[in-house]
Amino acid sequence: MKTYSTNQIKNIALLGNSGSGKTTLAEAMLFEGGVIDRRGDVVHKNTVSDFNLIEHENQTSMFSSIMYTEYNGKKINLLDVPGADDFVGGTVSSLHVADTGVILVNAQNGVEVGTEIHSRWLEKFRKPAVVVINKCDHDHANFEKAFESVKDSLGGHAVLAQYPVNAGPGFDSIVDIIQFKLYKYSKDGGKPEVTDIPDSEMERAEELRNELIEKAAENDEALMEIFFENDGLTEDEMRTGITAGVVARGMFPVFCMAAKHNMGVGRFMEFITNVAPSANELPPATTVDGTEVKCVATGPTSLFVFKTTVESHIGEINFFKVLSGELKEGADLINNTTRNKERFSQIFAPLGKNREKVTSLVAGDIGCTVKMKNTKTNHSLSSPDVSYVFGKVPFPEPKFRTAIKPVSEGDDEKLGEALTRIHQEDPTVIVEYSKELKQIILSGQGEYHLNIVRWHLDNIYKVETAFVAPKIPYRETITKAAQSDYRHKKQSGGAGQFGEVHMIIEPYTEGSEPKPMFKLGGKEYKMANRGVDSHKLSWGGKLEFINCIVGGSIDARFLPAILKGIMEKLEEGPLTGSYARDIRVYVYDGKMHPVDSNEISFMLAGRNAFSKAFKTAGPKIMEPVYEVEVLVPSDYMGDVMSDLQGRRAVVQGMSSEKGFEKITARVPLAEMNKYSTALSSLTSGRAMYSMKFDEYAQVPGEIQDELLKAYEAEQEEE
């Protein structure tokens, strides 16, 4: 394969709901470009894109796949992404490097939840988009209804560039508004017969052409003037305007096809090669320090790694986009993320599970390499004369969590290594050992997502595992001030142990000042503030430790030991063993022994005094609360609302957004267990949601009682 120049390279991400035909379109495009000599299909498990065993078993894409095809003297890099929200990580990483999104819409279903998810990510990345209404040959195809749903989703910027003459089982003809011709296909698809538009379609075609020309002119002032002067645009002028409109997201041209029978595919590829922007026609990449890096082959070499996979006999394969300069075989680059030197001994153009060796890739192109020493996803590499570090792929927050453990205790290390590899390949799989919960917590985008992780553990890594309910990371705090004292005294053969600590604790709130006096149990306590030691706790919240000792009742050298004892108790709260937070401690008195006092004595005295005070300070259990946003078709609104209310949700607002109803609510994490599965069941898979941590809030009294009883029972068992 030849080395293509930057303006000859088109990077497109194939987007859309599962079942919209992304993999089938990719196969047809590879065939049209002559990269493959026969088209595979999903049913026969022989497509270039879906090549993993688990994808064959489920007949759906679960991982992004990178391919290329050649057409009209141009190279089109295809990034085929999964349609299910559970595997959105592949979508996000692909959009990070794609230059144009191609949104596939199923002609029988219109815009579906997966389509909407991908549209939102496109909007977030500010990437141009083109729409393809696919499966126009389906028995239940309804092109007009599908187009209406596209307009609802994308607004008035969606404009027809084509429409089918006869959508349905007899589909074989397309009116192309840009070429202003009729494309008629044989039953096997392929190369069409191009004729004039018949009289029966002329009125509609002219109306749509005028609309398309107006949209094209809107995005370029010079074209707008020509439009008014000449009452129209030439085809070349229209193409220039469409490119400007697509780049500015001011228009979304809509095409139609039946990819399975290769109808409309070649014409669509012609449009992509002629009109879709190359990387140098889009805003330049920006480094984390704000430096703009122009996508030109003459600049310093720089690239960004957006995906990593692992193959058994090869090891890690890193996929990258060249952002500037030219990458040549044998080049030495600096990994600016790790500061290691890496040699590109081999460069490949990826083609699904296969790779074609190339000698160089220029700015804007996508490639892959093997046998890198220490390069992973989200790493930036460049020639030694620059040190560009590009922004990371903004992977979404996890929405589903479970605890995982090996069935055989001896497989702990093997499980850890396997999960590390899985995370490298899919950064949306988050693995964390929680010291607090004493569990390995596995988080992902949904229950289906994590079940696929378990399939890989069982079948690829040969580690049998079990999922168990994850514990909730509760927090403990207090609601009022309390006083306590504790004397630790221990006498054995030689030197004994002695330490006595008197303290008052109260709730800490940000910005509040220490109090000079307390009145507790009918007694006044004056606090002489001799120094504040503030600690930001790693699990959230603060501890403020105030030295109020007067008269030397406790030597200053023992205060760190008292603090250590308190910190130990914060790590294992008195109520349920959860972390405690947001407490201010005043140590105001105590006693020492000239011989028997030491650090261990005061650490134990401080720990026990704190525990006693905590239990009388109106202790409360706090639970993590998440802000949850649900997008749901209006038909299912009532069911989804009822389900949320059953989860102790506090609804914050409701609104309409792009054909969906949007519910925003605050929901305790304890109530979100398996929510993705429940929501999918309630809405036949047509709703989606996102969640992010909001705050810790007090649990209701009855739930606190249940938690206390459960903890007591657990302690008795131990």
- Give the tens place of pLDDT for each residue, 706-717: 999 988 888 777
For residues 284 and 7, give the distance between their C-alpha atoms in angstroms, rounded to a whole number: 14
Does the pLDDT at position 617 exceed 80? Answer: yes
pLDDT for 688: 83
Determine how many CB atoms are found less than 10 A away from the CB of residue 439.
18
Task: Assign 666 a pLDDT band (cuts: 50, 70, 90).
Answer: very high
355 and 35 in contact (C-beta within 8 Å)?
no
pLDDT for 717: 73
Does the pLDDT at position 632 exceed 70? Answer: yes
CATH topology of domain 6-201+251-281: Rossmann fold (3.40.50)
Average of per-residue pLDDT across 253-258:
97
Does the pLDDT at position 494 exceed 80? Answer: no
Average of per-residue pLDDT across 180-188:
92
Determine how many CB atoms are found less than 10 A away from the CB of residue 49.
28
**Cross-strand bridge partners of residue 358:** 347
**Mean pLDDT score of the chain, rounded to an integer?**
92
User: Poorest-confidence range of 287-296, 401-410, 516-525, 658-667?
Assistant: 658-667
User: Poorest-confidence range of 39-48, 78-87, 402-411, 518-527?
Assistant: 39-48
Dig out the tokens for 287 from the structure. 């480094």
Average of per-residue pLDDT across 505-525:
94
CATH topology of domain 400-467: Alpha-Beta Plaits (3.30.70)
Instruction: Please write the tens of the pLDDT for every residue from 357-389.
Output: 999 999 999 999 998 989 999 999 999 999 999
Task: Assign 657 a pLDDT band (cuts: 50, 70, 90).
Answer: confident
Instruction: Please write the tens of the pLDDT for every residue from 148-161.
Output: 999 988 878 999 99
Class of 476-618 in CATH: alpha beta
Rounded to the nearest 10 degrees, what angle do helices 143-154 and 113-125 cross at?
40
As separate numbers, helices (DSSP H) first and strands (DSSP E) second, the chain gives 16, 40
More reliable by pLDDT, 675 or 240 = 675
Does the pLDDT at position 84 exceed 90? Answer: no
Average of per-residue pLDDT across 639-658:
92
pLDDT for 32: 93
pLDDT for 718: 61
Average of per-residue pLDDT across 248-275:
95
Dig out the tokens for 69 from the structure. 């095809």
Class of 285-382 in CATH: mainly beta
Classify residue 144 by burial, with Cβ atoms within 10 Å: 0-12, 13-18, 19+: exposed
pLDDT for 83: 87
Average of per-residue pLDDT across 93-117:
94
More reliable by pLDDT, 152 or 419 = 419
Task: Assign 5 a pLDDT band (cuts: 50, 70, 90).
Answer: very high
pLDDT for 590: 95
21 and 259 in contact (C-beta within 8 Å)?
yes
* Among 660, 695, 679, 560, residue whose Cα is nearest residue 153: 660
CA distances from 584 to 502, 508, 544, 567, 572 (A): 14, 5, 5, 12, 17
Does the pLDDT at position 658 exceed 80? Answer: no
pLDDT for 493: 65
400-467 and 622-703: same fold? yes
Task: Assign 49 a pLDDT band (cuts: 50, 70, 90).
Answer: confident
470 and 437 in contact (C-beta within 8 Å)?
yes
For residues 356 and 368, give the distance between their C-alpha atoms in angstroms, rounded to a whole number: 10
Classify residue 517 by burial, with Cβ atoms within 10 Å: 0-12, 13-18, 19+: exposed
Does the pLDDT at position 229 exceed 80? Answer: no
pLDDT for 117: 87
Q: Name the residue ranges covered by the structural domains of the chain.
A: 6-201+251-281, 285-382, 400-467, 476-618, 622-703
CATH architecture of 622-703: 2-Layer Sandwich (3.30)
